A and B are shown apart, each in its own frame.
Chain A
Amino acid sequence: MSKRITIDPITRIEGHLRIDVEVDGGKVTKAWSSGQMWRGVELILLGRDPRDAWAITQRICGVCTTVHAMTSVRAVENALNLEVPVNAQFIRNMIISAHAIHDHIVHFYHLSALDWVDVVSALKADPLKTAQLAESLSDWPLNNKHVMVQTLEKLKSFVGSGQLGPFTNGYWGHPAMKLSPEVNLLAVAHYLQALDAQRHANKIVTLLGSKSPHIQNVAVGGVSNPIATDSQSVLTVERLLKLKMHMDALGDFIRKVYLVDIAAIGAFYADWTKYGAGVTNYLSCPDFPMDTKGTQFLVPGGYIPNADLAQYKPITAFGDAYLRDGVEEGVKHAWYEYSKPGPLHPYKGETVPKYTDFQDDGKYSWLKAPTFYGKRAQVGPLASVLAGVAAGHQPTIGYANKVLDTASSLLGSKIPLAALHSTIGRHAARAVRCGVMQEVMVQNWQALLDNIGKGDTKTFNKPTFPKGEVMGYGFHEAPRGLLSHWTVIRDGKIANYQCVVPSTWNAGPRDDSDAIGPYEASLMDNPIADAELPLEVLRTVHSFDPCLACAVHVVEDNKEVVQVKAL
């Protein structure tokens, strides 16, 4: 007999996501992903000055501030056909790579590692054995026995105090927890060290963006960072050198800790390479433009149908027609109503709510269902990494091989690239992309220095708004995947604005042809050891790094942080 499980909300950060699954014979047979809050934030932009849209859209979400700011200025620049000075591209590129690295490190260590790591089991670890294991995997200086002994003591006093704090919702002792006490202790040590690592990323964003969490330095047409090598208040040589120090520290952590930990978790949980593939049409966009127009990018992106890398089709420039013309959003299963049947292109997007109850076969989500040329697509670091491999992008291939090789040697058998189409593969891809982005960040730093050295200190092209109507869209490969903002500007004012966000692509409900979305598809056939404690569902959904604040609107209720209802 099948059993229905409802988890609401499932996110540890921003937003409300409800997941329903039916379990039969110990595995998931049906799944629903539902955004539980209405998002109408685009409506606030109507009639406003397009030069202000970035500052407003970065308030949609507390986690993804920077990415909305960047995508918004790109959309308006695209509408105006406005080029951006290369210095501005370099500065923006450093901010978005630092922000993404910050996001990925926090997601893995502080938000999702607890799905795999049993913190209480770490109390039983032998710290000397932990250090031996850690030192055999990496020459990271903080893998020694003193660090492990200290970590164990800290954990003991913390658990003894009864205040589990960030670990409150852990599934301690769950049968699906497979790591030895020593590996669990190692993970706790790195959890602590990751906090220092993410600070370096945050410092880069703050130094360049002038303020964190909400950066202040972007503008339609460039950035507002004046460059003067001899002034105290602006981007000086001293500040630039400081940036480099933070970038190098991040590189060490990513290469010696994050990529190694991911490989180890992947090897110990190798069975999870078999679950969670879901929708294997992958959509990503190129990013880190190095020219004024946005036609040369450091990292490629594009579309891969049916997990077939040979059919990869690249997206090549800002304003790319292949991406522009392929995106639609449907509301057959979402709590909206359109003025006419069928899905709509974002330029023609409508945001009119029509709430019903949660209907299994009808409407059940505040998220719309986006499609690319009529097909569902998965977005996120995995889509980007697969595009990189398909395009022959050497840094991506290098880091992907490093993770797969390390995991294979720990497991004692070869793990192929195809293993990435999985729950654990999404985590691996996130670490791979971090490695790539750290290199990108340093390249942009060097490019900025070289360009300033040539005497070019330009950072801004002034926008002018024509009479009549123009439209444009901006894309960005954000931490959670492809983000696009679409705007129609009439007589210098915003006439329509739609954000098609990564979590809408991944967490959206069934589409107009009743095809299930990536979250839903990825849950199918997941094993469920204990329906009362559906840790496996959390693992798969968390592997997408769900963040629904921008996908949906805030709700007023008094629910517990995580509520599991087994019906």
Chain B
Amino acid sequence: MRIVVLGVGNILLSDEGIGVHAVNRLVELYDLPEEVEVIDGGTSGMDCLDQVSEADYLIIADCMRSKKEPGTITRLTGDQIPAFFKTRISPHQVGLSDMLGALNFHDMMPKNIVLFGVEPLSFDLSMEPTPTVGARLPELVELLAGELAEIGIAVTKKAA
């Protein structure tokens, strides 16, 4: 089994980078087995194609505008995700949706896709998320770890 955890976003624009912060924290806090590949995708699209293709599971962490309270975490799966990509919610979705579209056309789509989207408060210039959204970071990391555990992956917290 091959599982890819992909963090997406621009870490120069505060809450925009929440997905990248989350996957970086995941690696800091947890020992993950070799079958789990964690990628800081930044705002790249096609550059991640190789790693994402034909994964059994693709778990994406991203910021997502869905007109909810800032910091709200939404989980989308399977068919909900192509629908999500039809309207412009995430500023780098064109890269991501192009990548998924290309994978689809090549029959290389990951078998399962789960997306955790965090409602942003601000895209101001900063390398840290806003306090409101940053406060949800531990929860987002737990959700990613929980998703891995659900799949049957042994995730163990590193010794402090």
Q: Is A43 an interface residue (CB 8 A)?
A: yes
Cα A255 to Cα B52 in complex, Å, equals 28
Closest-by-CB residue of B relative to A39 is: B125
The verdict on A13 contacting B94 (CB below 8 Å), with A165-B101, A198-B46 known, is yes
Contacting residues, chain A, for B49 (C-beta < 8 A)? 195, 198-199, 202
Within the complex, what minimum Cβ distance (angstroms) separates A87 from chain B? 25
Known contacts A213-B41, A214-B42, A40 near B98 by CB under 8 Å: no
Q: Which candidate, A59-67, A136-144, A175-183, A416-424, is the interface stretch facing chain B?
A: A59-67
A202 touches B105 (CB 8 A): no
With an 8 A cutoff between CB atoms, is B74 at the interface?
Answer: no
User: Are A13 and B95 closer than 8 Å at their CB atoms?
Assistant: yes
Beta-carbon contact of B42 and A165 below 8 Å: no
Cα–Cα, bound, A561→B104 (Å): 19
Q: Could you tell me which residues of chain A, from 276 to 321, have a CB within 8 Å of some CB in chain B?
A: none
**Contact of A14 with B94 at beta-carbon distance under 8 Å, contacts A62-B44, A106-B46, A561-B88 already known:** yes
Once the chains are docked, how many angstroms separate the CA of A202 from the CA of B42? 16
Q: Which residues of B contact A559 (CB under 8 A)?
A: 88
Whether B125 contacts A61 by the Cβ 8 Å rule is: no
- CB pair A59 B42 closer than 8 Å: yes
B13 touches A163 (CB 8 A): no
In the complex the two chains form, what is the Cα distance from A111 to B49 in whole Å? 15
Counting CB contacts under 8 A, is A360 at the interface? no
Instruction: Name the B residues within 8 Å of A195 (CB-CB).
Output: 49, 102, 106
Please, which residues of chain A bring their CB within 8 A of the CB of B45?
Answer: 13, 62-63
Q: How far is the CA of A41 from the CA of B48 in the complex (A)?
A: 24
Query: How far, in Å, is B105 (CB) from chain A's closest CB?
Result: 6
Would you call B44 and A166 a contact (CB within 8 A)?
no
Given A554-B123, A561-B88: A60 and B12 interface contact (C-beta under 8 Å): yes
A554–B15 Cα gap in the complex (Å)?
12
Q: Which residues of B sit under 8 angstroms from A553, Cβ to Cβ?
A: 13, 125
The answer to whether B11 touches A59 (Cβ under 8 A) is: yes
Q: Which residues of A contact B44 (CB under 8 A)?
A: 62-63, 65, 213
Q: For chain B, what secondary structure do more than half of its interface residues adopt (helix, strand, loop), or is it mixed?
A: mixed
User: By the criterion of a CB under 8 Å from any partner CB, how many residues of chain A are at the interface?
Assistant: 46
A549 on the interface (CB 8 Å rule)?
Answer: yes
Interface residue ranges of B84-110 to A (CB < 8 Å): 87-89, 91-92, 94-95, 98, 100-102, 104-107
Chain B residues with Cβ below 8 Å from A163 are 82, 104
Whether A361 is near chain B, meaning CB under 8 Å from some CB there, is no
Residue from the list B43, B82, B94, B102 in contact with A561, Cβ < 8 A: B94
A490 contacts B by Cβ under 8 Å: no
Tell me, in angstroms, the Cα distance from A553 to B48 when the chains sit together.
23
Q: B127 within 8 Å of A by Cβ?
A: yes
A18 at the interface (CB under 8 A from B): no
Residues on A with beta carbons closer than 8 Å to the beta carbon of B130 = none
Give chain A residues whose Cβ lies under 8 Å from the Cβ of B127: 44, 56
Taking CB atoms, residues of chain B closer than 8 Å to A359 are none
Q: Does A357 contact B (CB under 8 A)?
A: no
A 539-567 to B, binary, CB cutoff 8 A, 1 in contact else 0: 00000000001000111111111000000
Nearest opposing residue in chain B for A45, CB measure: B12
Chain A residue at smallest Cβ distance from B17: A59
Chain B residues in 8 Å Cβ range of A556: 65, 123
Q: Which A residues lie within 8 Å of B47 (CB)?
A: 62-63, 65, 102, 202, 212-213
A59's partner among B12, B87, B91, B100 (CB-CB below 8 A) is B12
* A110 touches B (CB below 8 Å): yes
Q: Which residue of B lies closest to A42 (CB)?
A: B125
Q: Does A92 contact B (CB under 8 A)?
A: no
Q: In the complex, which of the residues B46, B48, B101, B125 contacts A40, with contact meaning CB atoms closer than 8 Å?
A: B125
Within 8 A of A (CB), among B52-98: 65, 82, 87-89, 91-92, 94-95, 98
Chain B's closest residue to A558 (CB) is: B88
Q: Which of B50, B91, B106 contacts A192 (CB 8 A)?
A: B106
13 residue pairs A–B, Cβ–Cβ below 8 Å: A13-B95, A62-B10, A62-B43, A62-B47, A63-B45, A65-B42, A110-B102, A154-B105, A165-B102, A166-B98, A202-B50, A553-B13, A555-B91
Given contact pairs A106-B46, A110-B102, enumerate 19 new A-B contacts (beta carbons under 8 Å): A12-B94, A14-B95, A44-B125, A59-B11, A59-B12, A61-B43, A62-B43, A62-B44, A62-B45, A62-B92, A154-B107, A158-B105, A192-B106, A198-B46, A211-B40, A213-B41, A549-B43, A553-B125, A558-B65
List residues of A whose CB falls within 8 A of some B CB.
11-14, 40-41, 43-44, 56, 59-63, 65, 102, 106, 110-111, 154, 158, 163, 165-168, 192, 195, 198-199, 202-203, 211-214, 549, 553-561
B residues with a Cβ closer than 8 A to A are 10-13, 16, 40-50, 65, 82, 87-89, 91-92, 94-95, 98, 100-102, 104-107, 123, 125-127
The 9 closest A-B CB pairs, nearest first, are A62-B43, A165-B101, A166-B101, A213-B44, A213-B47, A62-B44, A165-B104, A554-B91, A106-B46
